């Protein structure tokens, strides 16, 4: 699935929210998060992020940390 990774933190451009056909991008305190079960993997959000924060989860650079896990933690807490 797609995830929003480290570059979104404290940027929160929100261009991605307008592109998502299923409204599965949720706002957190310092970044936005893609709901892993609601995302239909359409890829529409990926090119519009000005800081290239949106990646297919296998393509998140390892040095950015485990954003699949942090996304899951975010949705477990809401
Ligand atoms: Fe929404 Fe598509 Fe991006 Fe998933 S890949 S968050 S469904 S725009
Ligand atoms: Fe964040 Fe990029 Fe969306 S900065 S809010 S992932 S457009």
What ipTM does this complex have? 0.97
Q: Which atom of ligand 2 is nearest to the CA of 32?
A: 5
Say if ligand 2 is within 6 A of residue 5 CB.
no
pLDDT recorded at residue 72: 85
Number of independent structural domains in the chain? 1
- Which segments within the chain are labelled E, that is strand? 2-4, 25-27, 32-34, 54-56
- pLDDT-derived band at 21 (thresholds 50, 70, 90) equals very high
Query: What is the total residue count of the chain?
Result: 78
CATH number, residue 22: 3.30.70.20
Indicate which residue's Cα is closest to atom 2 of ligand 1. Answer: 42
Residue-number span of the structural domain to which 34 is assigned: 2-77
Q: What average pLDDT score do residues 44-59 get?
A: 95
For the whole prediction, is pTM greater than 0.80? yes
């Amino acid at each position: 699935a797609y995830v929003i990774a480290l570059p979104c933190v404290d940027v929160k451009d929100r261009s991605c929210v307008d592109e998502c056909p299923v409204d599965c991008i949720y706002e957190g305190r310092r970044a936005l998060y893609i709901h892993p079960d609601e995302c239909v993997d359409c890829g529409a959000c990926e090119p519009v992020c000005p800081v290239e924060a949106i990646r297919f989860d296998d393509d998140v650079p390892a040095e950015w940390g485990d954003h699949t896990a942090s996304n899951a933690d975010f949705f477990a807490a809401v």
